[in-house]
Structure 1
Amino acid sequence: MGLKEWILPQDKHFFNMLENESQNVLDGSTAFLDLLNNYESIKEKQQKIKDIEHQGDDFVHEIFEELNKTFITPIDHEDISKLASAFDDVLDYIDGTATRLVLYDIQKPEENMLKLAEVLLKQATELNQALSGLRNIKNPKEIERRCIEVNRLENIADDLYKTSVADLFKRKDAIEIMKLKEVYERLEFATDKCEDAANVISDIVVKNS
């Protein structure tokens, strides 16, 4: 077997794993927005998100195991590691948010929570499409456009977070403020990690196109 033939299966394998993880993030974002939009059977829906997060852990462990035993990769080891970690962080924060909705007995999601979840789902959708273009990088401008959109959406999420927290501190119930602030924080962290993933994808395109 020649060098090219040896490299190509690894190339396909790493992209398969990253695409699985990206799709899992999209699934988690979709499930979380569904939880907020249809706020019933919350514990069951939170468990579904937990299961998706556990699947994400399996994906990222598989990627790191392959990185540890593979010398030649289609893109830099460090970039694969950063991208896998960013996707994993997104799911961790989604799961953490859903968990707090249950633990803190949040009776009804606030409007800005829904808006943040919608932004998060849009980011996950753009990331999934951007990642699918990395196999051959035939259209680097399209990938970069999607990464820029993820960054733009993060700015929207940041504004929503600031407004939401400012509104919280106008209330009188300190415990309620603390609970809701944690929910908003983790949602905003999830959008930050989407931006981190987009920045890694953008760097990969620059290096490989």
Structure 2
Amino acid sequence: MDAQRESLWRRIVDRVFPKTPDFFALLAEQAGMVVHSVGLLARYMEHGDREAGEAVKADEHEADVLKVRNLHLLNEAFSTPIDREDLYRAITHLDHVVNYCKSTVNEMDALELTPDEFTRKMAAELHAGSQFLRDGYAVLHENPVEAEACADRARKAERKVEKLYRKALVELFQGEDYLHMLKRREIYRHLSNAADRLADAANTLHDIVVKIS
């Protein structure tokens, strides 16, 4: 009887105070998904690898599944170890990076463009920044100081992408092939936007560190 009472009491407690999801692990997993997607984008830009381009598109669907799952857990959680608004921002910013990877490949296909030196370098910097971001979220719970350092490195990668973006535009807008200029600018802009979202995710990581330290 005592065991039955204990089991009933545990079920009641679990229903009233459900177990808090491990949001640190969930964010680390989602950040790892970003690294995978951006890595595929970098491979696509390096070699014009069509298989990698198609994999980027498939990754976007898997990333959406992770985003929806994490947002659902956030909405259902009784309490969270991280500010709810910061969790929401981190989840959505990470997802936006993957979305821009897909948009870049889709528009290159639609506009019949191939990778160039600037798209290769921008994608490589994005990949490096995403790795810093993943490392930061991975150590956030155990080592907030290192997480903050990783966030700073990710922001530096974003600044490198922006410098490449401006240099690319200067070189692009030469000559008279205006249609090509406009097409290519759209691709550069998608990569710049991906870097912006990467910086947003890094800024959110920094904000979380400040609040939990």
Structure with greater Cα Rg: 2
Helix, strand or coil at the partner of 2:20? helix
Helix, strand or coil at the partner of 2:115? coil
| CA contact 2:21–2:77 (8 Å) conserved in 1 | no
Query: In structure 1, what is the equivalent of residue 162 of structure 2?
Result: 158
**Displacement after TM superposition at 1:15 (Å):** 2.6
**Displacement after TM superposition at 1:11 (Å):** 4.2
- Match 2:85 to one of 75, 78, 87: 78
- Match 2:41 to one of 32, 41, 44: 32
User: RMSD of the alignment, in Å?
Assistant: 1.7
Distance 1:21 1:153 in 2: 19
For residues 142-197 of structure 1, the C-alpha deviation after alignment (integer angstroms, 9 at most, x for no partner) is 11111111111111111110110121111311111111000000001101111100
Query: In structure 2, what is the equivalent of residue 17 of structure 1?
Result: 26
Distance 1:99 1:207 in 2: 39
Query: In structure 1, what is the equivalent of residue 6 of structure 2?
Result: none
For residues 81-119 of structure 1, the C-alpha deviation after alignment (integer angstroms, 9 at most, x for no partner) is 00000001101111100111111111x311111110010
Query: In structure 1, what is the equivalent of residue 181 of structure 2?
Result: 177
- Runs of at least 4 residues off by over 4 Å: none
Distance 1:11 1:135 in 2: 14
- Size of the aligned set, in residue pairs, is 200
For residues 50-99 of structure 1, the C-alpha deviation after alignment (integer angstroms, 9 at most, x for no partner) is 11111111111111111221120111111110000000110111110011
Q: Which runs of 5+ in 1 are unaligned?
A: none
Query: In structure 1, what is the equivalent of residue 3 of structure 2?
Result: none
Helix, strand or coil at the partner of 1:75? coil
For residues 109-150 of structure 1, the C-alpha deviation after alignment (integer angstroms, 9 at most, x for no partner) is 1111111001000010000000001223xx322111111111
| CA contact 1:29–1:117 (8 Å) conserved in 2 | yes
